[in-house]
């Protein structure tokens, strides 16, 4: 479960991230990211009816929410993410969704291994 201060809630927040942020598409999801839009790192999910019936949509949402919650601490402070599930997410395993999410984060240089943190100045 995502903490309350880590969730995008209002449609204006979703719209700002989706229109103003960078976008990376993968086979099972599309990741929209906007850097420095507040003090807390936030995330929101979009799982439309194209993914499947309500049972399938809720299963995909639970999996994505769990995956995002595990990665929130590694993201730059103040960043906002919107993860949009594609129809292929309906048949994907958690591992496949996690691999797509990690690949998208790396592509946007939001994964910890690719961020350009040079450490303290000497």
**pLDDT tens per residue across all 122 residues of the chain:** 788 889 999 999 999 999 999 999 999 999 999 987 678 899 999 999 999 999 999 999 999 999 999 998 888 888 999 999 999 999 999 999 999 999 999 999 887 654 444 444 43
Alpha helix positions (H), the chain: 11-20, 54-71, 94-107
pLDDT score recorded for residue 120: 40
**Confidence (pTM):** 0.85
Taken in order of first residue, the domains within the chain and their CATH numbers are: 4-107 (3.30.230.10)
Sign of CA dihedral 5, 32, 13, 11: negative
Max CA separation in the chain (angstroms): 56
pLDDT score recorded for residue 1: 76
pLDDT score recorded for residue 35: 86
Residues 6+ apart with CB under 8 A from 8: 14, 17, 42, 43, 44, 80, 82
């Amino acid at each position: 479960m995502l903490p309350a201060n880590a969730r995008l809630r209002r449609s204006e927040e979703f719209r700002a991230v989706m229109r103003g942020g960078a976008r990376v598409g993968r086979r099972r999801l599309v990741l929209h990211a906007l850097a420095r839009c507040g003090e807390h790192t936030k995330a929101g999910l979009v799982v439309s009816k194209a993914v499947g019936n309500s049972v399938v949509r809720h299963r995909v949402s639970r999996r994505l929410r769990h995956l995002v919650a595990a990665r929130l601490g590694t993201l730059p402070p103040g960043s906002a993410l919107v993860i949009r599930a594609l129809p292929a997410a309906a048949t994907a395993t958690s591992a496949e969704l996690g691999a797509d999410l990690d690949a998208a984060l790396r592509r946007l240089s939001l994964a910890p291994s690719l961020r350009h943190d040079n450490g303290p100045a000497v």
